[in-house]
Structure 1
């Protein structure tokens, strides 16, 4: 049972969460080890250079130059450069591989998350998890991890050599680093907060883009461009402000690091120069000391960038893990449906999207196998919610729905949903061809003959065969290139090809013109034959032909019977039927020959 407990999940903004995410993506450990080993070799070669320079400076003369030694160093430099290049490529490959693994896990997870998750989370936020947040993690692995490891080795190695060369000068150098840490650490924390805020705003802005661009026709038809521009502009300005905050912190950090380093060089040059003058150290040692200092300073910048990126990655990890740790559906858990041609029983079913607000209240009725049950009632009475419970998008809070003697929750989702055909008012289509849409979701091969038979029974073959590319015609985004009646007939053909035993119709003709309605009604009659059918009814013609009518009012069943029985015993149904009859007479009058002549 899905209930919103209201408890907040504990944030996973720590190293353990990050490594759990990485291990779940199955990183190429051997490649990472090779890449880091090559980076280490390149760094160790770099640590030898200052010592070689020291010897050259202290004993510089043309006669003392050892050309074999120089050739060896040149080869070492070339080898170091090659190792660094290969390491960079392998790390990039590993980073891309890890991100592909995380995105694969996320995509798999998103497809098995319950509908309630999508009710409570904006599409743009979810897209941001898949694109922006995973990109941050890729940047950390591919661009900053090698710098962190090699930088650490370079710093430790340089410090060890410096202590050996001149421990007094090394201690002077160390005295400045705590001061730099005290200045830079608070700035790093601020950068983390700004990065998290930037990620949240980016996700929000992506939501706005996704919503507006997916409904651009509604935006234009409603003349809502100025409203949407203002909302989008606000999102852009928020991103701009976060970008400025990030820029201000970076503007403080860079000069501070430069200032600390310059101060360090001045102190060491002054003190080191005095030591050389006194004969305590040689000029070569001072040069080597300064080169080693460079090998400490440069990696410190890399480490700073690594920790900044790591803070961003922590925030990204937290949001990704919230999705991955969310309760999911297991589509294969449960029993297979062996016989769907059995009565469907609603037994004391109660459900609400919010715990305190029940939409359906103690609903009881039975749908006989192979018969048509019509659901009638005012808007907001719970008709669509009843469909959602049958599809198992949600689980009832109280009571149960049974197929024969079995609870429908006992069946696997794959098996249960394969028994259901659903045709709605909107008849959503995917981007692709007519063939793609009719065959959508089927896990078996569909022959051309089967495809054409389904289209013929849905009366869709009439317009399909008139199209230049026939079944290979592109329908456009959400089927925009087709009329409403054509989309409905494709949806009916899709349901026919699935051959469902249970049919749910959300009054599939209510939004059609009279000509299209006649054709679609004929197609629906073909579809309904021999199937247990539940219809949300808005029109009297559908209700009159139903074997059973269930009247819902504010989530409560107030009447069950045939059209004639409810007409005699149910006041609200009588009002509904009278109103529909008046509308029907009015339409007939409007389309009569005399009305058309006038």
Structure 2
């Protein structure tokens, strides 16, 4: 069973490497060069044997010395070049693997990120690919040259003296009895170390991305304790690894000395009897070094390989995950079409339904406000419209076609989305406004969008203007400024359908007035869906949809719902009181 699993692991690693489409010519050339370098190294002991057996000052010539030096130089050049070529091939494989993985991460659907922690995904991209890189670019080079060196040396030794070679090789299984358990222990430690590193990366990502929450809640001690736990765990694994490595080195030295004693003792007897020459004994010792030294590299390779197996499984799991197909489907040729929801239902995984049998229609060019208690599924509805998720029941149509029949890239290009906390990327204001626009945007077009979003004035007052850095997640700007940049970004995109998710609820009164004016410019002539908790946002809507616990309980204009829907009337009354308080203040 274990043998079958190991074969599968080899196959999985080879299949993963094959996905990167490596340069076969480069790899073959590097291996051939490695074979040549090893072949040259196998000649050196034979050359030494002849030198020792025929040694005398009178026979020693500059030609012999030059030849001996030339072989050393040739072996060093060929080995170095082959190692470099294999390393380059390995680096190229891993670069291609990271490229495929990065491309895959960008096309994975939102449900994948709902069920996988960001830190663990980052660990797959950095730590796991680093493990694969080390195996291919570093350990594989030493492994191939080591295997060739060991096999070549043993063949030559058997040819020189099979009896002495048999005695020497009899010692190796004894050493393996000590080394095998240590190799297994090193694998278990490495596996645990990878797991703990991934967990630590996850904790770091989570805490540092929300460092302001940590500070505002005075949670530094709590997070320090959590981080210290992982640091201490990594330290313990590191100590275990150091213990095993501390045992491996002396054992290798012990094996080397034991073999040397056997060869010198038994070889000395054979030299004395005339069965072996002094030069052959020296050659035996040199070949012994060429057998024992690569053993450490071969052991390291198998330890690293076992680590790589786990990394390969995790990387392959991501690469094999279902992805969004951005190109399949028909183009969106007809614009300004009605959006119709028929019996729409949705649940996250196997959980309770979030939306149940929603039925309503949004006519082109109109404003539809979606209101109701928090947790009712309003934001989920927006996610379904943008096709982040697939409905578990019913359908959404654009005109006469279901939205899943359209090309995903084209469908999403129809939308402009402004949320309560509009996300900004670390970069300049210009980069944020133009984000997602593939063609060159002129300064005039950029400024016009900013002016319509009431953002141009405050941007112009900044020291660097449109080239001002906004900081991570736009932290250097106020909430109102971030919202206006988000509106400018949506205006530049020129969407046909606009979705506003409580776009002004987090702003103060002064900022809200400015943003509301910007939103009017954005909404002009577009089909608009608004999630809002403020009455001022929904009063003038063409229709209001009231959603409670995922179910539509009322629809109509503000006046109609005020007269017929008790919960909406309560909502409106509360909002009027809040507005009165704000006016008094």
TM-score (structure 1 length as normaliser)? 0.94
Distance 2:7 2:553 in 1: 49
Distance 2:134 2:8 in 1: 18
* Range moving further from structure 2, 33-42 or 394-403: 33-42
**2:411 counterpart of 1:416:** yes
1:66 Cα deviation (Å)?
4.7
Q: Which residue of 2 aligns with 1:75?
A: 70
**2:91 counterpart of 1:106:** no
Query: Against the structure 1 CA distance between its residues 551 and 374, is the aligned structure 2 distance closer, same or farther, given a 3 Å change threshold?
Result: same
1:33 Cα deviation (Å)?
2.4
SS of corresponding position for 1:509: coil
Correspondence list, 1:535-546, <5 A: 535-546=530-541
Contact 1:438 1:490 in 2 (8 A): yes
Distance 1:211 1:63 in 2: 77
**2:136 counterpart of 1:156:** no
Q: Which residue of 2 aligns with 1:506?
A: 501
**2:235 counterpart of 1:279:** no
Contact 1:13 1:318 in 2 (8 A): no
Q: Which residue of 1 aligns with 2:422?
A: 427
**2:566 counterpart of 1:567:** no
**2:213 counterpart of 1:218:** yes
Contact 1:344 1:368 in 2 (8 A): yes
Alignment deviations for residues 118-144 of structure 1 (CA, whole Å, 9 cap, x no partner): 111122211111222112222222222
Distance 1:147 1:15 in 2: 18
Distance 1:11 1:134 in 2: 20
**2:298 counterpart of 1:303:** yes
1:166 Cα deviation (Å)?
1.5
Distance 1:356 1:210 in 2: 27
Say what the alpha-carbon RMSD is for the aligned residues.
1.7
SS of corresponding position for 1:395: coil
Distance 1:136 1:74 in 2: 38
**2:82 counterpart of 1:87:** yes
Distance 1:13 1:223 in 2: 50
**2:458 counterpart of 1:478:** no
Distance 2:234 2:331 in 1: 50
SS of corresponding position for 1:400: strand
* Range moving further from structure 2, 474-483 or 34-43: 34-43
Alignment partner for residue 372 of structure 1, among 367, 374, 388? 367
* Range moving further from structure 2, 79-88 or 366-375: 79-88
Contact 1:433 1:475 in 2 (8 A): yes
Q: How many residues align?
A: 581
1:13 Cα deviation (Å)?
6.5
Q: Which residue of 2 aligns with 1:247?
A: 242
Distance 2:27 2:157 in 1: 30
Correspondence list, 1:483-562, <5 A: 483-562=478-557
Query: Against the structure 1 CA distance between its residues 12 and 329, is the aligned structure 2 distance closer, same or farther, given a 3 Å change threshold?
Result: farther
Distance 1:321 1:327 in 2: 12
1:301 Cα deviation (Å)?
1.3
1:245 Cα deviation (Å)?
2.2
Contact 1:35 1:91 in 2 (8 A): yes
1:169 Cα deviation (Å)?
1.4
Distance 1:316 1:12 in 2: 16
Q: Which residue of 2 aligns with 1:7?
A: none
Unaligned runs of 5+ in 2: none
Distance 1:256 1:469 in 2: 64
1:12 Cα deviation (Å)?
10
1:268 Cα deviation (Å)?
2.3
Q: Which residue of 1 aligns with 2:454?
A: 459
Distance 1:491 1:448 in 2: 17
Alignment partner for residue 397 of structure 1, among 381, 389, 392? 392
1:398 Cα deviation (Å)?
1.1
Distance 1:85 1:258 in 2: 26
Distance 1:405 1:185 in 2: 68
**2:227 counterpart of 1:267:** no
SS of corresponding position for 1:535: strand
Contact 1:340 1:502 in 2 (8 A): no
Contact 1:11 1:318 in 2 (8 A): no
Contact 1:13 1:315 in 2 (8 A): no
Distance 1:252 1:399 in 2: 65
Correspondence list, 1:224-243, <5 A: 224-243=219-238
Q: Which residue of 2 aligns with 1:348?
A: 343
Distance 2:6 2:224 in 1: 34
SS of corresponding position for 1:463: helix
1:438 Cα deviation (Å)?
0.8
**2:127 counterpart of 1:136:** no
Contact 1:433 1:472 in 2 (8 A): yes
Q: Which residue of 2 aligns with 1:593?
A: none
SS of corresponding position for 2:155: helix
Q: Which residue of 2 aligns with 1:339?
A: 334
Contact 2:342 2:357 in 1 (8 A): yes
Contact 1:13 1:314 in 2 (8 A): no
Q: Which residue of 2 aligns with 1:62?
A: 57
Query: Against the structure 1 CA distance between its residues 11 and 526, is the aligned structure 2 distance closer, same or farther, given a 3 Å change threshold?
Result: farther
SS of corresponding position for 1:173: helix
* Range moving further from structure 2, 486-495 or 209-218: 209-218
Contact 1:106 1:324 in 2 (8 A): yes
Alignment deviations for residues 288-321 of structure 1 (CA, whole Å, 9 cap, x no partner): 1111111110111111111112222222211111
Contact 2:44 2:71 in 1 (8 A): no
Distance 1:245 1:392 in 2: 49
Alignment partner for residue 19 of structure 2, among 10, 14, 24? 24
Distance 1:192 1:359 in 2: 45
Contact 1:212 1:219 in 2 (8 A): yes
SS of corresponding position for 2:58: helix
**2:389 counterpart of 1:385:** no
Query: Against the structure 1 CA distance between its residues 13 and 566, is the aligned structure 2 distance closer, same or farther, given a 3 Å change threshold?
Result: farther
* Range moving further from structure 2, 543-552 or 309-318: 309-318
1:525 Cα deviation (Å)?
0.8
